[in-house]
Structure 1
Amino acid sequence: MALSGFIIIMTETLPAGLLPQLAADFQVSDGTVGQLITVYALGTVVAAIPTIAMTRGASRKPLLVIGLLGFLVANTLTAMAPTLVIALVVRFIAGAFSGLIWGMLAGYARRIAAPEHAGRALAIAMAGTPVALSIGTPLGAWLGSMVGWRWSFAGVSVLTVVVVLLVLACVPNAPGQRSDTRLSLGRVVLIPGVAVVLGVVFAWMLAHNLLYSYIAPYLDGAGVGLRPDVALFAFGVAALVGIWITGTLIDRSLRRLALASTAAFIIAGALLLAFPASLPVTIVAIALWGVAFGGAATQLQKAIGDAAGESVDVANAMLTTAFNLAIFGGGAFGALLVDGSGPAALPLAMIALSAVALVTVILGRKQAFPSRRTVAM
């Protein structure tokens, strides 16, 4: 499952590390080619809830394999795309398969783990995210700079074949949701705590994606002499630390983790805003940002899963939708900032949105982010 998440995240974020090469090849601006991230997110937004709603009763393992095969096809076609328009269409399709996998992966992990270890199981299943950020995306960015961006996407396709074989051989199956426990989409949203978590997801992840999607032009504008691939590597290594901390504490300290992580985003943005030309401060800010982000997905999925109970798959599809609306917003709004006000405006937007997320976590003390919660199954 962690390797499946690795494929998804690497596919999603790879254009962020390849923006200069993509822009040069397709002869467009950084903001325009950044829409490769935006349309991917849009595909996830469109597909996540409908696909999970239609497949709630299906066995989980076949769905995971189907989703991974979709990524195999999409990344192969991206590597061969002759124009930006075709690449955008294929990225939209890849995003749709992302919606399917992310909508069911967290619930799948919870079903094959003991209830008291649900948070730790999520942390392990989500470990592919920081590994992709620390190793996958920087390696893809490096490969793109050496032999061309198309080989980066081709490499992801080869890795996807390996992961499909491993899933078939190693991952146990799990049943879908029983028909007598399925709530309508509207009733799932109204479950206490679910809407609050979704609000935190959107604000927090929008803060993240504004800067992450346009890290290359931001670093270039700051003039600190830090290459995007190196910055992404440092971010990803820090994210590994974040997922380890989250996996250790999440089953007993979810609220404190969420408060600390959203606050760390504010501090990281403030450091970048106050010391934009300092290389040491930039590295510290990126490390703090990475640690805070590393456990974010696990924390949010644990929170919404605890609140939703048996409706965890649909709730996670909604979380995936909110998450990818934030990615969509990061690509679109970030393009306006980068092409308009300039990349130096990104840390300020990061601070403001992270503050909204922090306040929402504070106010969600009853159902969304309580200090203690009995795991719902």
Structure 2
Amino acid sequence: MTRTENTRPCRTVRPGYVLAGFVLLVCCTGTAEYLVAGVLPQLAADVSVSIAAAGQTVTAYALGVAIGGPIVTVLTARVPRKGLALALGIVFIAGTVLTVFAPTYALVVVGRVVSACSQATLFAIGLTTATGLLGPARQGQAIAIVSSGLTVATVLGVPLGALLGGTTSWRIPFVFVAAAATLGVLLLAAAMPRTPAPTSGVRDEIRTLLRGPVLLAVSTTVIGFGGVSVVFTYLVPLLSEVTGIAAGVVPALLLTYGVGGFVGNLVAGRLADLSLGKTLVGVFLALIATLAAFPLLAGQPIPMVGLVLILGLLSTATIAPLQSLVLRHAGAAPTLSLAVNVGAFNLANAIGSTLGGLGVAAGLLRWGGLGGAVFATLGLILTFRALRAAPRSEAPTAETSTAAADIKETSQ
């Protein structure tokens, strides 16, 4: 039997509030993931560990997303979406609060892992709910709106958090993250419609994930997005040591990169609704050209400023189309596949930064763009294969169809 929520839904559904709630929670999870990088010295000193050990709290969060996320998704496959979203938001807040008050390094790590385990499933629910709110014809735009929370975290959340943590205590930024996440949960509690529990179960979710086209789409994310990380992880030393840009200018360039990422994500979402295939191919072709240009123009400051902006636009322009590609193949059981694809972006970052680091250690800092271009080329090849496997008709999934129908009913 399938569990359902028997409470009658509210008469009026406000999609804007629902989307705002998910964007806020996604922004908070993204900020929490990378915030530690800006307060490592303060954290290390406070809990009496080395900076290297403090940096492992970033790794702990990433592993919590990549490993814990799919496990949580499987275990909650038949839990009604609204109740699950609220529960996951509370789990994230609880982990963040534990991080704030943790007296020891071990408890800091525990708090980070607890928070991280909610991210992938919460993100996946946000994607399917947003698609139900806006409809299949605006699927790419819906995904881009929810994903914009991550780009906002990159543009504003992490830099402001690092600045605040550097002037007060490393714990203070996490207090603000917890407060903002609480607001996100309250928005969902007030505005998100109650829908029946998904009819798909654990076996359906796993069977969907293991389908060839879905695995191809996830692989495209890992390989294609990894090329961005090869360059971006070591962009600061590249600009400082090779290009010769003054240290005071680099933060402004990174902010430009982040603003470009915010715009690129939203534009790509709209383009994906017009033509998913053309958008993916176009983004990867542009990404290949841009990454390959980095080694050639690394010694020229003015062209490099333009390349940084273009890379910012293209980096997040992959998110909405790649998630749309996964959603297209996932059918009636999309949550696990979307959650795994969220972890795939984390895995791409890990692979790209590791290989890029090996290149830097070998004295190839300037030439990292060529490695990134190779990854993007492989991503383009996988894209062609994944698109070729795409279904002829793009019917909405069962979960998003249920959400859309429920929204329509409660709005009348």
Q: TM-score, normalized by length of structure 1? A: 0.85
What amino acid is aligned across from residue 317 of structure 2 in structure 1?
Answer: G
| Distance in 2, Cα, partners of 1:241 & 1:89 | 35
What amino acid is aligned across from residue 116 of structure 2 in structure 1?
Answer: G
Match of 2:303 among 281, 291, 308: 281
Q: Do the aligned partners of 2:233 and 2:353 also contact (CA within 8 Å) in 1?
A: yes
What amino acid is aligned across from residue 272 of structure 2 in structure 1?
Answer: I
348-357 or 2-11, which moves further after superposition? 348-357
Match of 1:320 among 317, 328, 342: 342
Cα displacement (A) at 1:198? 0.9
Asked whether 1:208 is paired with 2:228, we answer yes
Q: Do the aligned partners of 2:284 and 2:377 also contact (CA within 8 Å) in 1?
A: yes
1:287-326 deviation line (CA, Å, top 9, x unaligned): 1122112332211111111111101112212212322322
Asked whether 1:304 is paired with 2:329, we answer no
Match of 1:374 among 372, 380, 394: 394
Cα pair distance change 1:160/1:90, threshold 3 Å? same
Asked whether 1:359 is paired with 2:371, we answer no
Q: What's 2:159 paired with?
A: 138
The residue correspondences of 1:1-377 to structure 2 (distance < 5 A) are 1-18=22-39, 28=50, 34-80=55-101, 86-179=107-200, 183=204, 185=206, 187-222=207-242, 223-226=244-247, 229-330=251-352, 332-333=354-355, 336=358, 341=363, 344=366, 346-368=368-390, 374-377=394-397
5+ long unaligned stretches in structure 1 = none
What amino acid is aligned across from residue 155 of structure 1 in structure 2?
Answer: F
1:209-242 deviation line (CA, Å, top 9, x unaligned): 3444555555554442255643432122111221
Q: Do the aligned partners of 1:17 and 1:141 also contact (CA within 8 Å) in 2?
A: yes
Number of matched pairs: 373
Cα pair distance change 1:308/1:345, threshold 3 Å? same
5+ long unaligned stretches in structure 2 = 1-21, 398-412
What amino acid is aligned across from residue 44 of structure 1 in structure 2?
Answer: V
331-340 or 69-78, which moves further after superposition? 331-340
* Cα RMSD for the two superposed structures: 3.2
Secondary structure of the corresponding residue to residue 311 of structure 1:
coil
Q: Do the aligned partners of 2:205 and 2:334 also contact (CA within 8 Å) in 1?
A: no
Asked which structure has the greater CA Rg, the reply is 2
1:26-60 deviation line (CA, Å, top 9, x unaligned): 7746x765443332121112122221122121111
1:247-299 deviation line (CA, Å, top 9, x unaligned): 32211211121122223333332333223344433332221122112332211
Name segments (4+ residues, structure 1) moved above 6 Å: 23-27
Cα pair distance change 1:101/1:332, threshold 3 Å? farther
What amino acid is aligned across from residue 189 of structure 1 in structure 2?
Answer: L
| Distance in 2, Cα, partners of 1:36 & 1:337 | 24
Secondary structure of the corresponding residue to residue 195 of structure 2:
coil
Cα displacement (A) at 1:171? 2.5
Identity of aligned residues (%): 27
